[in-house]
Structure 1
Amino acid sequence: MEFDVQKFTSAAFSPRTDEVPVEALRPFFKGLSAKQKPKWKVRGLTGAELALCNEAQARNRNRNAIAEGMLSGVDDKVAEAVKALLGADGKVPDELAKRIEMLVIASVEPACTHQVAVKLAEAFPVEFNQLTNEIVKLTGQGGEPGKPKRSSGTKTSSSPSSSAT
């Protein structure tokens, strides 16, 4: 089987999206009727975005190592206070740091800030994991081939008239 490089490079791709039911978050969605289901729309990540998520994981690990090195030989109580101040107290697992970044980048509707992602991970860990698992799944499926969506409702112009007027 031969890979068609020309077809692949000329294909247009759009991010895959999906809506994840988040019933536990219903009280925080405005204007839902009793029949409507609260949903959080997420998309797959690009290669560059996935790398940013991996870097968030590495930054979390590095912050802990730097704090350890800087504070070696310092009184334990002072060291713990400084680590907490720097956010390097080891309380954020690397995987959580990565998933927080994923949710921030890949949330389509509603948009998600770091503050919201952290609060969601703390208060609703099951929904947080469902959302980030869906992002991982969509990312693994790659971009969706097809024509990109039009940026406006304006049609492209037709060819000029052949008349002399």
Structure 2
Amino acid sequence: MPRQMIYRYGEDRLSEAKVEGWFDPDRAQAFVEANTVTDDDYAQWERTGRGSIRGVRETLFHTDSGQWVLHRHHLGPSDCSPSTWELLPTDHQAVDWLTRNGYTEAVTRLLPDLPAETGPGRPEIGGRVQVRLGDLLPQVDQYADRHGISRAEAVRTLISAGLEHSGS
């Protein structure tokens, strides 16, 4: 396959695509999507009268220079959109595509320096402790309200003050 022009599209994908350069697909590592629509699938749709169904076959390429190019080959009638070759601007988009298509080993092999994903919310500060406060709970909540802090922060503050007072 000859060199291929690659493009960058706007977020809305409606604006004009900008040429970003070129790459040689034969020299790049290709990852074919997991649930691809094959030419045989499309031929079967044609035979059963469902030929107007459009499909997209995607292949992600990792170039020699470390860039990611997504090829979308549109299947369908002749008026269907042409194939696109899009430069993915971030490694995270490539990671998302690779993960969705079952190439997790490629992520660890090709992108070893990516930071580990973190979940939503605040990171844990220490081990979780569950305590039943019983009749003390309303007093803790009042303390938290007076000081404009959360219940958890109030419990930590009160325990810290108690430990300082006891000399520990």
Higher helix proportion = 1
TM-score bracket relative to the smaller structure = under 0.3
Name the TM-score, length of structure 2 as normaliser: 0.26
**Structure exhibiting the larger radius of gyration computed from Cα positions:** 2
Name the TM-score, length of structure 1 as normaliser: 0.26
